C-alpha cells in the first residue's frame, strides 16, 4: 500500500483492538498505530479514522454487563460515556504528533439522505483540506436498532465513498478471510485476494471472528467490501493484533485485499450503498427485462405502488415475486405515481394536469441490485 502519490485512506479500528479485556483502552498498542498514521499523514496521505469502542469503554465505567450491549438503552448510555473518553484519547494521541483530531458522529440517516450525505462529504473534504484527521463513529447514543449501521465496517466503507477514498483498511482481530473458520478441525484456507464478493465468498463469512466486544463479524466486513467495490475503492482486512499494524501491512502485505470495482458515478455509488427506501414500486416482467437491459422505468410497466414517497425520494423497484431488482430516485410523488400506473406517456398529461416526465425513475438515477 505504499504509494508515491498521496492517497486518502480510511482506517477502521474494531472495539476488541481498542479496548482490552479489562475494559480499558489499549494505549500502548494504540500509540504504535498512531505513529504509523502520523508517518503516512506526514508523507502527504489523507487519513480518516473510523473508531469503535465507545460502547465497550462506557460499559466499564458504568459497570454494565455484556459489554454494554444487554439492551439498546444500555448501549446508548454506555456510548455517551465512552465516546467522550474515546475522542479525548484520539485527540491526545494524534496531538502528540501535532495533528488535529476532528470528531464526526454519524447516523445511518446522515449517509442515506442525499442532502445529508453531501453535507457530511463536504465536511470531510474541508477537514482533510485543513490536514485534520477525522475520527468517526456511529452516533450510538441516538441510533436505535432500526436506524443504525450497528457495525463500523459498513460505516467505514460508506465514509470511504463519501470521501472518495482510495482504500479502506479494516483492522481486525483476524488477519483476513479464510474459507473456513481457522480454528475449526480442518484449518481454513487463507484468501489473499478477492475480485468480487459473490455467493461463494459470502458463504465463507463466519461471525466467529468477532470477539464479542464489537458487533462486526466477517459478514459485515464482506458487506463493507461490496460497498467499497461498487464505489471503486480497494478494501483490505488486516490484522491489528501486533504493534505498528499499518507499517507491518505495508511491509508484509498479509491481509485479504478486495479489489476495487470500476467505480460508478457518485450518485449511483450512493444509491447502491443504501439500506432504506421511502416506498416500493412493483413492476411487471416486461419492465424487469427493460430495466435489466439498461432502460428507465416507465409508468406502463408499473403494477402497484406502496409507501408515501415524495418526488426525489429513494424507492425500491420489485418484481412480482417481491424481489428487489433496482433502487432509484422517483420522478413523481406516490400520489401522482398511482394516477399513472400502467399508462402510456400520451395519456399521462390529462391525468396529471402537467407535462409528464420522461420516466418514473430515470436510468441515470437508478442502480440495479
Ligand atoms: N459504534 C460501536 C462503538 O463504538 C461499535 C460498532 C462495531 O462494533 O462495529 O462501540
User: Tens digits of per-residue pLDDT, 73-128?
Assistant: 999 999 999 999 999 999 999 999 999 999 999 998 898 888 888 889 989 999 99
- Where does a domain end: 269, 298, 328? 269
Same domain for 234 and 331? no
Q: Which domain holds residue 313?
A: 277-368
Contacts of 58 (CB under 8 A, 6+ apart): 64, 68, 77, 78, 79, 80, 81, 82, 83, 85
Whose alpha carbon is nearest atom 2 of ligand 1? Answer: 52
Q: Is 216 in the pocket of ligand 1 (CB under 6 A)?
A: yes
Which residue minimizes the CA distance to atom 8 of ligand 1?
214
Same domain, yes or no: 289 and 264: no
Q: Is residue 112 part of a domain?
A: yes
User: Both 248 and 303 in a single domain?
Assistant: no
331 close to ligand 1 (CB < 6 Angstrom)? no
Region 184-204: mean pLDDT is: 84
User: Which H/E stretch holds residue 236?
Assistant: strand 234-239
The reply to whether 186 and 334 lie within a common domain is no
Q: How many domains does the chain have?
A: 2
pLDDT mean over 228-239: 94
299 and 231 in a common domain: no
Instruction: State whether residue 166 is helix, strand or coil.
Output: coil
Indicate whether residue 54 lines ligand 1 (CB < 6 A). yes
* Cβ of 138 less than 6 Å from ligand 1: yes
Question: Is the domain of 306 the same as that of 218?
Answer: no
> Which among 228, 253, 269 is the end of a domain?
269
Q: Would 180 be classed as within a structural domain? A: yes
Measured N-to-C along each axis, helices 152-162 and 114-129 cross at an angle, to the nearest 10 degrees, of: 70
- Measured in angstroms, how far is the CA atom of residue 53 from the centroid of ligand 1? 6
Q: For 258-312, how does the pLDDT look when each residue is reduced to its tens digit (9 = 90+)?
A: 999 888 778 888 898 888 899 999 999 999 999 999 899 999 999 999 999 998 8
Q: Which helix (H) or strand (E) is 83 found in, with range?
A: helix 72-95
- Check the CA dihedral 361-363-365-369 and report its sign: positive
- Indicate the average pLDDT of the chain: 90
* pTM exceeds cut of 0.85: no
Collapsing DSSP to helix, strand or coil, 279 comes out as: strand
**Residues 241, 347 share a domain:** no
d(CA 337, CA 360): 8
State which of 11, 13, 54, 103 you would mutate to test the pocket of ligand 1, scoring each by most atoms of that ligand within 8 A of its C-beta: 54
**Ligand 1 nearest atom to the CA of residue 215, by list position:** 8
Flag whether 201 is in a domain.
Answer: yes
CA of 172 to the centre of ligand 1 (A): 13
Amino acid at each position: 500500500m505504499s504509494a508515491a502519490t498521496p492517497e486518502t485512506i480510511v482506517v477502521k479500528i474494531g472495539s476488541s483492538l481498542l479496548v482490552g479485556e479489562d475494559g480499558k483502552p489499549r494505549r500502548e498498542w494504540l500509540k504504535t498505530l498512531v505513529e504509523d498514521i502520523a508517518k503516512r499523514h506526514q508523507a502527504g496521505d489523507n487519513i480518516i479514522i473510523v473508531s469503535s469502542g465507545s460502547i465497550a469503554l462506557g460499559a466499564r465505567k458504568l459497570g454494565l454487563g455484556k459489554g454494554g450491549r444487554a439492551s439498546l438503552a444500555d448501549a446508548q448510555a454506555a456510548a455517551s460515556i465512552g465516546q467522550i473518553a474515546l475522542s479525548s484519547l484520539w485527540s491526545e494521541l494524534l496531538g502528540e504528533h501535532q495533528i488535529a483530531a476532528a470528531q464526526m458522529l454519524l447516523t445511518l440517516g446522515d449517509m442515506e439522505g442525499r442532502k445529508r450525505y453531501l453535507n457530511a462529504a463536504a465536511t470531510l473534504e474541508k477537514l482533510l483540506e485543513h490536514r485534520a484527521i477525522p475520527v468517526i463513529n456511529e452516533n450510538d447514543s441516538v441510533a436505535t436498532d432500526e436506524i443504525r449501521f450497528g457495525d463500523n465496517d459498513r460505516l467505514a466503507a460508506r465514509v470511504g465513498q463519501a470521501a472518495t477514498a482510495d482504500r479502506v483498511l479494516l483492522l481486525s482481530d483476524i488477519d483476513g478471510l479464510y474459507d473456513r473458520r481457522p480454528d475449526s478441525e480442518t484449518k481454513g484456507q487463507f484468501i489473499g485476494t478477492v475480485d468480487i464478493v459473490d455467493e461463494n465468498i459470502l458463504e465463507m463469512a463466519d461471525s466467529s471472528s468477532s470477539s464479542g466486544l464489537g458487533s462486526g463479524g466477517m459478514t459485515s466486513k464482506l458487506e463493507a467490501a461490496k460497498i467499497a467495490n461498487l464505489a471503486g475503492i480497494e478494501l483490505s482486512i488486516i490484522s491489528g493484533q501486533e504493534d505498528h499494524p499499518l507499517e507491518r501491512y505495508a511491509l508484509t502485505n498479509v491481509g485479504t485485499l478486495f479489489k476495487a470495482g470500476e467505480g460508478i458515478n457518485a450518485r449511483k455509488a450512493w444509491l447502491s450503498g443504501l439500506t432504506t427506501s421511502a416506498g416500493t414500486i412493483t413492476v411487471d416482467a416486461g419492465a424487469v427485462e427493460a430495466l435489466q437491459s439498461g432502460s428507465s422505468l416507465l409508468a406502463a410497466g408499473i403494477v402497484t405502488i406502496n409507501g408515501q414517497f415524495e418526488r426525489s425520494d429513494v424507492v425500491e423497484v420489485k418484481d412480482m415475486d417481491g424481489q428487489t431488482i433496482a433502487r432509484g430516485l422517483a420522478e413523481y410523488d406516490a400520489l401522482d405515481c398511482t394516477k399513472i400506473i400502467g399508462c402510456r406517456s400520451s395519456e399521462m398529461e390529462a391525468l396529471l394536469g402537467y407535462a409528464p416526465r420522461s420516466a418514473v425513475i430515470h436510468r441515470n438515477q437508478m442502480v440495479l441490485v
